[in-house]
Amino acid sequence: MARKLILDVDTGIDDALAIAYALASPELELIGVTCTYGNVDVAQAVRNSLAILELFGRTDVPVYAGPQREGFEVMDISQFIHGVNGIGEAELYDAARAPERLSAVDFMVQSVHRFGDDLVIVPVGPLTTVAAAVEKDEHFAARAHIVCMGGALTVPGNVTPCAEANINQDPEAADLVFRQCADVTMVGLDVTLQTLLTTVETKQWRALKTAGGDFLADATDYYIKAYETTSPHLGGCGLHDPLAVAVTADPSLVETLPINLKVDTEGASRGRTIGDETRLNDPAKSARVAVGVDVARFLQEFMRRLTGLASETPVV
């Protein structure tokens, strides 16, 4: 039976790839997309998510808006990597439908109660909405299963020497989630910067001559170009968010380290994900951090699934 999935996105180019990966995965049933801020604001994340779902013919998947941190403004570096519209200036029609009235926080809380162990929540943006769900419902932290993209345990951050972008947006929320939630898998830069895509692959999408293929190629080429400037040593763009979805569909793609995590919230190391020294000797570990990844197998699955999905969209 497919596992039910809530994908929490700040859509974002790699968030768009994560939505596509979820739609193309028979192991997962996407029951809702919740929108947060980060690469763009919540309103734009909602707009992009609705448009992407419509492009792939999945107007049955509801979209929910989450809370936005007070004073949030899109960072210059986010705009450089993802474009002003968040999807690399790729052009998509606005969806004909609107987001749901229910808030993302309430949707998460209700879904955890309704589906229990059959549900996994995959946040691939700041953990603001998940933290709000923990604070709203006393059972949420114990019952929710979470696979998040964020953090960096064995490598430097990508916004500061210590902080990864998603954690950096709201370190307090991430700290609360890592300290309180009973089951968290962290898919961070340790592994997501090993899974890289180049224009060799995006050409395959363009060759499909479909609306979905063109969108994936246009958005990802923009993202690859940005990475050529910010991280030329990598030789491709990081497939951060789709890797978290792939790990949810198939946990054997990564090796993990059991650990109790916390996030530094003060000083120069603000935003750092690190072991919680106060729980070092606790034999129960609430988190697993991905530290190794089967790159070849993931990339093969990524291309197979997304190319299949894009080939089913209208010919252009």
Contacts with Ca ion, residue ranges (CB under 5 A)? 10, 12, 15, 124-125, 241
Complex with ligand BDR: residue 14 or 301, whichever CB lies closer: 14
95, 133, 162, 165: which one contacts ligand BDR (CB under 6 A)? Answer: 165
Q: For ligand BDR, what does the binding mask look like between residues 20 and 59, x meaning CB under 6 A?
A: ------------------xx--------------------
255: left (phi over 0), alpha (psi -120 to 50) or beta: beta
* CA gap 33, 49 in Å, rounded: 8
In whole angstroms, give the CA distance from residue 306 to residue 2.
18
Report, in angstroms and rounded to the nearest whole number, the Rg of the chain calculated over CA atoms.
18
Q: Which does 99 bind (CB under 5 to 8 A by kind): ligand BDR, Ca ion, none?
A: none
- State the binding partner of 164 from ligand BDR, Ca ion, none, CB within 5 to 8 A by kind: ligand BDR
One-letter amino acid of 185 = T
- Could you count the other beta carbons within 10 Å of the beta carbon of residue 114? 11
Residues of this chain, 78-97, that bind ligand BDR according to CB under 6 A: 78
Per-residue burial over 76-112, b if 16 or more Cβ lie within 10 Å, else e, is: eebeebbbebbbbebebeebeeebeeebbbbbbbebb
Q: How far is the CB of 279 from Ca ion (least distance, A)?
A: 28
Spacing of C-alpha 297 from chain mean position? 19
Nearer to Ca ion, 208 or 293 (CB): 293
Alpha helical stretches, state H, the chain: 13-23, 42-55, 76-82, 104-115, 128-136, 140-143, 165-169, 171-180, 189-192, 199-206, 211-230, 240-249, 295-311
Q: How far is the CB of 87 from ligand BDR (least distance, A)?
A: 11
Q: Which of the residues 8, 10, 41, 241 is marked catalytic?
A: 10
Of positions 85, 166, 273, 307, contacts ligand BDR by CB under 6 A: 166
Handedness of CA 171, 173, 174, 178 (dihedral sign): positive
Active site residue 82: no
Distance of alpha carbon 189 from alpha carbon 281, whole angstroms: 26
Interface with ligand BDR in residues 122-141 (CB under 6 A): 124-125
* Whole-Å CA distances, 286 to 12, 134, 231, 259, 264: 29, 15, 32, 7, 17
190 binds ligand BDR (CB under 6 A): no
Rank residues 38 and 212 by Cβ distance to ligand BDR and give the closer one: 38
Nearer to ligand BDR, 124 or 132 (CB): 124
Contact partner, 165, from Ca ion, ligand BDR, none, Cβ < 5-8 Å per class: ligand BDR
Closest to 52 in 3D by CA, of 92, 18, 21: 92
Catalytic status, residue 240: yes
Options 15, 137, 240, 241, the catalytic residue: 240
Closest approach of ligand BDR to the CB of residue 16, in Å: 9
Check residue 271 for interaction with ligand BDR (CB under 6 A): no
Q: For residue 110, give both structure tokens.
A: 């209700």
Considering CB under 6 A, how many residues would be counted as binding ligand BDR? Answer: 15
Q: Which residues are near ligand BDR by CB under 6 A?
A: 12, 14-15, 38-39, 78, 124-125, 149, 158, 164-166, 240-241
Give me the active site residues, please.
10, 240
